[in-house]
Structure 1
């Protein structure tokens, strides 16, 4: 008989799932686990806040497509983690959240007055796909399997496991508690789906005169961008992506319709005779898949591919629903389409659609060329950053109006190169998302464009970046206020002197805060200073933060703001 601690057993469970990195703040109860983690190839990243730790894990998962682990202490540590878990739940990120509870003698059930006794398991249930308390050491592997199965089956999402703190130090006979690899207890690839469905989809697409393809984040999770584009190219079909799936198609592809190119995109989608939706629920910022953003379902055929049966036909009725892995299904459809027709060389009416695209671009150009009276035009800040950084750089956006400028003037060219809290608009995710992305892909450049309000939430994680040698470049658009709230007041006709809760101290120096943590910091007050400042930030070899003064008046009217408000009313 070989005895190991339950903590070491937990490390074995995580190793079996390929976990190489975990995030969070270590509690004394974790020691029987954390001392063994390196032996099982698991690196711990010490963070400054448990919510920030979850956001780091989200950035890590989004960039490499793997699940991430976050650990937290009993009571307040676990409660802090729940805020981040709500982000992962909304965005569909497979986060394995593990928190200790205080000893069962006083907390299971809670006797009243117990220190740090919090019912985290029930609190986590509405924002996770699985939440459970391990009551017997022998059931730990089983419950970890249940957690990973839930996190990675169908639409990805977070799970929560609570472990009493005294349990991790208990000894157990490891020969009696086997740990299985993922292939032995859960489906790791759903395959291409029912051949009859594939045949129907291929028939519709092969005979379509105006096919159109739309990618959601499921295309990225399935690593199916190549297959998505190959099918589109063979059919000469138009393409679009959801906001979260930006990068699934290079945004300079000749048949790609950008998210802000609403006139051209809506017209192409309305005139399409067959729509193929892959890995998307067609949510609010996809216009719910409804007219006028899309054609009427009665007048065009819709094919939908998804790993989650609950997502098929959710917001738009379908003619063919394919429950399958996106990569496998797209390969199978293309193979069948090739049997039925020759490749098409031109998209119907593309020049007519591009006339509308040019009109949209000219409107955007007006935003970009507006002269600031103070600091930089926010669009120029974004445009210069995109021009400076390489094509395959990872872009992270955070904030309100700052994000709208970032979406408009920062093209994305490769998969897993764009991180933003799309469904939640969760402020404060930018810096930790960027750190997680850099840890997942250390060979890639990672830069974050954020607002001064948003950066304040988790700016202390810059010290985490320094300690973990994660060189990220953060551009903070400083307008000394909550920009989108100013816009809302202006839009509602509220005079500036009557606007409440929109200002932040103009004395703040975010570059000095970064310097105080040992990072590189610099203040930029004109567009001419920005390229050299970016170069100095890169050359520093450290995590860097640029305090970029932007014109507060220009910042209240970013491109896409009116469309943003319109979509929210649909």
Structure 2
């Protein structure tokens, strides 16, 4: 039976378990959108294509699979550009489909063409693969190569163009192939390397497990939990790997921001690193907290990209392949010889619990506007334990690293690229992937929140269980702090302040959401509960102290070591 090109594209994606698409339809894509909805897909049209890319990334992080975003020709692709670059730096396997006019338009020597630009050349440096479906019979090979490139080695985005002249072409093709027939799936490490890694693990006296962003995005938490139990080790989170694995909450310590993490790292004689690039936020695994005991510490790295081995630091045992396949190999090899935890592990657990309790007790309270540390404490104490946590913002996120009282199993934020404004579309995408079953909380600052604020309507249209807790100081808080540290208090602060009559709760109501204004500590948690109970997406506008938000960021000195140019 003959099949249209757009129908075949959907079939190819369905073979990969993809069933959600984000974008604003245009003549290139209306047939694909309509057919996708008829086939039972989630078809979500946001208010900006950049949001479409971020929403797709939210889906990918929650499913462990590639996701799809679409941009119409010209302006739509331009709008996607920020999310394409973000996906590249965040290592997110997003398939970006771009519309384009008939190729005859591109080949004409003409000026003043409407809604036209040669898109591929503008995008190719931000993606792993760029191609165009020029002929109907190319559809299988190009879509498959796009998926292959997106998920192989270091994951990342790809761009596939869909010129208008192929929209309605028909072709006859056999049924689509399952993934394992055309790309490498579940690559394991060699048994010799597994045996070598296990030998180091058994010999170690103070091993640590360094868990990164990739453990969450691959949905490999359960297997890593088994491994951590067999190794009887502390789990050190990278700044990107801040999702807590169920069952390991008490012995998971954020690197650099918990004294327990520092003590465990300093005293470690083996580091098993999983799902991390060993980037600047962990000082490349060889600077700052890693310097002590470096001569005696062995490194085992689970890494999908063979070209990454040994780049940021020397590695003793590289385990190259899919961590979803390699971690079970390690589990099986260690199952009959589990380690016994050292007394230090319980001490670190107790000390970290005491630290969090002390922060909750000592965070400044009783002032109006609210101190940002108290905002984090109150909001995260009210976080539903089964919920999905999304972060955004500068100063707000820095306060969150230190003061958060929640240990969510799913945390999504833009750590590598630091792209502000991702929070709301990430939250929408994550909730769409979840089917709207679990409550979602976005904790953000007002600067970041306003980037994509129109997506409140998207959340309301989809009736998502989302509450946005927004710390409002009417300024770019992080940048105000930079002015003060650079030029001194009382200096001019150009371009970082705005009108103080903005009410984000009222904006939310205008979009059909629940809104509430808060300026006292004790009102934060009740407002969050009322927002969830409303049955609508909610926005809690929390007035925070602008002076504290710009001057009292906790652990700021630790954060700045990520940027210690020339020292790492």
Q: Normalising to structure 1: TM-score of the pair?
A: 0.93
2:565 aligned with 1:566:
no
Measure, in 2, the Cα distance between the counterparts of 1:440 and 1:220.
14
CA distance 1:356–1:19, change in 2 (3 Å) = closer
Q: 2:170 aligns with which of 158, 172, 182?
A: 172
Measure, in 2, the Cα distance between the counterparts of 1:502 and 1:148.
42
Query: Which residue pairs with 1:17 in the alignment?
Result: 16
Query: Which residue pairs with 2:504 in the alignment?
Result: 510
Q: 2:324 aligns with which of 327, 331, 341?
A: 327
Query: Which residue pairs with 2:542 in the alignment?
Result: 548
Following superposition, the deviation at residue 525 of structure 1 comes to 1.3
Counterparts of residues 148-159 of structure 1 (less than 5 Å): 148-159=147-158
Following superposition, the deviation at residue 329 of structure 1 comes to 2.0
Measure, in 2, the Cα distance between the counterparts of 1:70 and 1:409.
35
2:191 aligned with 1:195:
yes
User: For the Cα contact (< 8 Å) 2:49–2:80, is it kept in 1?
Assistant: yes
User: For the Cα contact (< 8 Å) 2:257–2:555, is it kept in 1?
Assistant: no
CA distance 1:133–1:112, change in 2 (3 Å) = farther
Measure, in 2, the Cα distance between the counterparts of 1:370 and 1:174.
68
2:295 aligned with 1:301:
no
CA distance 1:150–1:252, change in 2 (3 Å) = closer
Following superposition, the deviation at residue 218 of structure 1 comes to 2.1
Unpaired runs of at least 5, structure 2: none
Query: Which residue pairs with 1:281 in the alignment?
Result: 277
**Secondary structure, aligned partner of 2:18:** coil
Measure, in 2, the Cα distance between the counterparts of 1:122 and 1:429.
25
Measure, in 1, the Cα distance between the counterparts of 2:298 and 2:561.
27
Q: 2:527 aligns with which of 520, 528, 533?
A: 533
Query: Which residue pairs with 1:487 in the alignment?
Result: 481
Measure, in 2, the Cα distance between the counterparts of 1:480 and 1:110.
50
| RMSD over equivalenced CA pairs, Å | 2.3
Following superposition, the deviation at residue 248 of structure 1 comes to 4.3
User: Could you report, residue by residue, the CA deviation over 1:103-134 in whole angstroms, capped at 9, with x for unpaired residues?
Assistant: 21111466433222222212221111111122
User: Could you report, residue by residue, the CA deviation over 1:348-402 in whole angstroms, capped at 9, with x for unpaired residues?
Assistant: 5346656875896588468612553x32121222222222222121111111001
User: Could you report, residue by residue, the CA deviation over 1:476-518 in whole angstroms, capped at 9, with x for unpaired residues?
Assistant: 1100100000111222243334111121211111111111111
User: For the Cα contact (< 8 Å) 1:52–1:458, is it kept in 2?
Assistant: yes
CA distance 1:199–1:494, change in 2 (3 Å) = same
Equivalent pairs counted in the alignment come to 562
Q: Which moved more, 1:356-365 or 1:144-153?
A: 356-365
Q: 1:424 aligns with which of 396, 414, 417?
A: 417
Q: Normalising to structure 2: TM-score of the pair?
A: 0.93
Query: Which residue pairs with 1:87 in the alignment?
Result: 86
CA distance 1:335–1:471, change in 2 (3 Å) = closer
**Secondary structure, aligned partner of 1:22:** strand
Q: Which moved more, 1:251-260 or 1:17-26?
A: 251-260
**Secondary structure, aligned partner of 2:288:** coil
CA distance 1:553–1:349, change in 2 (3 Å) = same
User: Could you report, residue by residue, the CA deviation over 1:528-556 in whole angstroms, capped at 9, with x for unpaired residues?
Assistant: 22222112211211111111101111111
Q: Which moved more, 1:262-271 or 1:542-551?
A: 262-271
Measure, in 2, the Cα distance between the counterparts of 1:205 and 1:110.
65
User: For the Cα contact (< 8 Å) 1:260–1:408, is it kept in 2?
Assistant: no
Q: Which moved more, 1:39-48 or 1:226-235?
A: 226-235
CA distance 1:92–1:365, change in 2 (3 Å) = same
Measure, in 1, the Cα distance between the counterparts of 2:125 and 2:323.
28
Q: Which moved more, 1:208-217 or 1:356-365?
A: 356-365
Unpaired runs of at least 5, structure 1: none
**Secondary structure, aligned partner of 1:205:** helix
Query: Which residue pairs with 2:65 in the alignment?
Result: 66
Following superposition, the deviation at residue 407 of structure 1 comes to 2.2
Following superposition, the deviation at residue 254 of structure 1 comes to 4.0
**Secondary structure, aligned partner of 2:98:** strand
CA distance 1:357–1:540, change in 2 (3 Å) = closer
User: For the Cα contact (< 8 Å) 1:242–1:259, is it kept in 2?
Assistant: yes
Following superposition, the deviation at residue 563 of structure 1 comes to 1.5
User: For the Cα contact (< 8 Å) 1:370–1:377, is it kept in 2?
Assistant: yes
Query: Which residue pairs with 1:435 in the alignment?
Result: 428
